[in-house]
Amino acid sequence: MSQRKRKIGLLPKVIIAILLGIGLSFLFPDWAVRLFITFNSIFSSFLGLFIPLLIIGLIAPGIADLGKGAGKLLLITTAIAYFSTVLAGTFSYGICSWTYPQLLGDSLTALGAIDMAGGLTPYFTIEMPAFISVMSALVLAFMLGLTMIHMKGHALKDVMIDFREMVFMVINKVIIPLLPLFIFGIFLQMGAEGKVGPVLGMFIKIILIIFAMHVTFLLLQFCIAGAIAKKNPLKALWTMLPAYLTALGTQSSAATIPVTLAQAKKNGVRSEVADFTVPLCATIHLSCSILKIVACALAISMSMGMDVSFGTYFGFILMLGITMIAAPGVPGGAIMASLGLLASMLHFDANMQGLMIALYIAMDSFGTAGNVTGDGAIALIVNTIKFKKKEE
């Protein structure tokens, strides 16, 4: 009982941090607010230092792991999962580009009015320059991962697996515990400067839009899968509902795998396909997560008057689809894995990244639930491709 009481999920902590930040902003004097702004400055510098290490430590072993085993079926499943992820990001960009100006209206100027550098300032800053740029880290991670697939020895792979464990440890023991404090500082500063009201109003609208897109995209996934597998898409989606509800509670794709497997098999996916595709897709298929990231990033970019052209965002989506393979092992993993790309490709500063984290985690469980439900659609498609070839 005592262990359960001590375990509070990341989402409740973030909600508490936001509420406390807003509430205490009316009580704290400026000197106290500046203490938390100083912490945020140091934490942001540490994140900038750590993100390239995160990219190398998670993506390189992830790519190497994809090389194990299943040959053509692995390539087919990976290609479908990547296509689904990119399609989700493009779908999100299209819908949000069209709906945000109409549905958000004046709220879009809310974040643009926040000049974090122009109000209260930290007492001091500590510079922690990264030893390598984000894009260089991505290239190095891909190079290491692809090399490890074809190497006969296991020494490099063992080193990278140990390095990945170190990255997980830093995330779980340092970054995740401090994230609520970081978000608390952001909302404390916004409240102290009188800028929090319109931002919260915009957050609520964005969350409702994202939820509607989740439902629509799941219907689209199962319509495509149903057409290929010649099954009723609504019935197939309904069969996957227990996996959706389980993921809502666990907030973990990995923990939901047994339920996702059972429901995929009820949809007619044979065991030899389901046992391979479902665990693999739990690692590489995060379509609803990328949908959320694009929607949140676009809202912030629009508010700040930044570049929101399709060319800029499509490049971001293509890279994000690859980077997502780093996400499942990390709490709030998708947004953590995307921070480097947000900084390097969309030019998000630390405060914008903090807002992204807060907005994303507010819907983290719904994204996970959408991801695992979509895994059932991919299993149907792969099952049809494999056994149609056998029949022919």
Termini Cα distance of the chain: 57
Nearest Cα to Cα of residue 293 among 92, 152, 1: 92
Residue with the bigger pLDDT between 127 and 250: it is 127
What structural domains does the chain harbor? 8-391 (1.10.3860)
Which pLDDT value is given to residue 3? 45
Nearest Cα to Cα of residue 66 among 149, 147, 161: 149
Q: To the nearest 10°, the Cα dihedral for 382, 387, 389, 392?
A: -150
The whole model's pTM is what? Answer: 0.75
**Residue 183: which pLDDT band, with cuts at 50, 70 and 90?**
confident
Q: To the nearest 10°, the Cα dihedral for 332, 333, 339, 342?
A: -90
CB 129 within 8 A of CB 49: yes
Which pLDDT value is given to residue 392? 47
Between vectors from CA 291 to CA 288 and to CA 297, what angle results, nearest 5°?
A: 140
Residues in the chain: 392
Helix locations, 104-195, DSSP H:
108-112, 134-150, 155-170, 176-192
Which pLDDT value is given to residue 327? 57
> Which residue is listed with tokens 């953590």?
336
Which pLDDT value is given to residue 67? 58
Nearest Cα to Cα of residue 112 among 337, 384, 302: 302
State mean pLDDT over 324-344.
71
pLDDT tens digits for 338-373? 888 888 888 888 778 877 887 787 777 788 888 889
pLDDT tens digits for 278-297? 877 877 788 888 999 999 89
